[in-house]
């Protein structure tokens, strides 16, 4: 089968489209024939070596497809079931094996492409807004990179929960998209000082929470935008990692909370994975939230997908189609 592999860390050019053995499902595993694989920023961090993975490896961790075979001891899912999963490496390929208990069966009415677009970015937006800082009506939140894959979903889910949503984006085109996803106010953080804008838009009161996936260029200033006892949710570093940090700053800026969450810990049990996926896929099926699939590229063009994502050229989901 074909797969996109990393043999040495580096730029998009290190992604190699090559022939490897199709895996065989072992006990408790299923083999999935991949119909669509999601491209995510974590794939970039793993490709560059910012997040270490033993080499060589097949990149990618967001998949939808059909169960092609099951290993010993697996009763669910069954061969032929339409499924999706996340957080298991090996998605940039024609087939992958995955533990059966990590797989979610897609409901009728949710396509494979929607499934692949929802599992990592959608579940992330879900846990951030419902669990990390459970938003409630009247809360004011700031979503950085609000027209990104996670950002567009964060805006929509935050609005479902009745919050007021401020978003930051780099271009006017992205601003229009973020507004379409429900952002009440959009700040062009490439042109405007977002701290000044947040203070103006909240009449000096500040924010209950910031969902910050941008990191290096936004983190420090964000701390000055929070209301007393507000929460900084640093969940990514698209602009680069945040440097060393003195916790005393949290006290000085208003007894703030800081967390650095990651999806794996919010879908660690099968029960939690299924509960989140059921609610999220239900919203998608019912039209309460919309997935913006902006590009579909052949698997062989994974490097181009990475260039687009890293180059801030995407607004929504990028899929690779084997
Ligand atoms: N912790 C978790 O559980 C978890 C799970 C999923 C994703 N994440 C994180 O969430 C973030 C978003 O992921 P995504 O896949 O949805 O990507 P994305 O938001 O679609 O793309 C990244 C966006 O970040 C913004 N950005 C700001 N400065 C940038 C820079 N110097 N270089 C590149 N981009 C920059 C860009 O938006 P503008 O042009 O509008 O600035 C860009 O479009 C990533 O940081 C990812 O690691 C975390």
Helix (H, G, I), strand (E, B) or coil at 252: helix
Strand ranges in 40-159 using DSSP code E only, listed in sequence order: 57-58, 62-70, 82-86, 95-99, 104-105, 140-143
CA separation for the pair 86, 258 (Å, rounded): 26
CA of 151 to the centre of ligand 1 (A): 8
Residue 128 DSSP code: I
At 77 the pLDDT is 98
pTM of model > 0.75 = yes
State whether the beta carbon of 322 lies less than 6 angstroms from ligand 1. Answer: no
Pocket test for ligand 1, best of 41, 62, 266, 315 (most atoms within 8 A of CB): 41
**Percent share of the chain, pLDDT over 90:** 100
Q: Whose alpha carbon is nearest atom 29 of ligand 1?
A: 239
Average pLDDT over residues 13-18: 98
State whether the beta carbon of 236 lies less than 6 angstroms from ligand 1. Answer: yes
Return the closest-CA partner of residue 117 out of 146, 89, 150.
150
At 238 the pLDDT is 96
> Cβ distance 234 to 132 under 8 Å?
no
Pocket test for ligand 1, best of 153, 214, 239, 259 (most atoms within 8 A of CB): 214
State whether the beta carbon of 148 lies less than 6 angstroms from ligand 1. Answer: yes
Task: Provide the token pair at 313.
Answer: 């050229």
**Percent share of the chain, pLDDT over 70:** 100
CA of 120 to the centre of ligand 1 (A): 13
State whether the beta carbon of 147 lies less than 6 angstroms from ligand 1. Answer: yes
> In the structure, what pLDDT confidence band is assigned to residue 179 with cuts at 50, 70 and 90?
very high
In degrees and rounded to multiples of 5, residue 158 shows phi and psi of -60, -40
Return the closest-CA partner of residue 288 out of 164, 130, 141, 156.
156
Q: List pLDDT tens digits, range 98-120.
A: 999 999 999 999 999 999 999 99
CA of 42 to the centre of ligand 1 (A): 9
């Amino acid at each position: 089968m074909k797969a996109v592999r990393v043999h040495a860390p580096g730029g998009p050019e290190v992604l190699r489209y090559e022939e490897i053995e199709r895996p065989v499902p072992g006990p408790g595993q299923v083999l999935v024939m991949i119909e669509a694989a999601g491209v995510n920023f974590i794939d970039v961090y793993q490709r560059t070596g910012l997040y270490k993975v033993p080499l060589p490896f097949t990149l990618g961790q967001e998949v939808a497809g059909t169960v092609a075979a099951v290993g010993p001891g697996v009763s669910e899912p069954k061969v032929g079931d339409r499924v999706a999963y996340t957080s298991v490496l090996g998605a940039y390929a024609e087939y992958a094996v995955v533990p059966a208990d990590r797989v979610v069966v897609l409901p009728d009415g949710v396509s494979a492409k929607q499934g692949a677009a929802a599992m990592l970015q959608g579940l992330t937006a879900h846990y951030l807004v419902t669990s990390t800082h459970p938003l409630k009506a009247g809360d004011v939140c700031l979503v950085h990179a609000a027209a990104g894959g996670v950002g567009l979903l964060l805006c929509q889910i935050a609005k479902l929960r009745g919050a007021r949503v401020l978003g930051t984006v780099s271009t006017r085109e992205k601003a229009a998209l973020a507004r379409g996803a429900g952002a009440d106010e959009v700040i062009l953080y490439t042109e405007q000082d977002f701290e000044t804008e947040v203070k103006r838009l909240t009449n000096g009161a500040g924010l209950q929470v910031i969902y910050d996936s941008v990191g290096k260029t936004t983190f420090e200033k964000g701390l000055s935008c929070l209301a007393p006892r507000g929460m900084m949710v640093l969940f990514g570093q698209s602009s680069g990692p945040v440097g060393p940090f003195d916790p005393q700053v949290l006290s000085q800026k208003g007894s703030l909370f800081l967390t650095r969450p990651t999806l794996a810990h919010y879908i660690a049990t099968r029960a939690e994975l299924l509960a989140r996926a059921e609610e999220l896929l239900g919203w998608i099926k019912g039209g309460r939230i919309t997935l913006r699939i902006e590009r579909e590229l052949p698997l062989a063009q994974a490097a181009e997908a990475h260039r687009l994502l890293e180059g801030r050229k995407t607004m929504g989901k990028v899929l690779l189609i084997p």
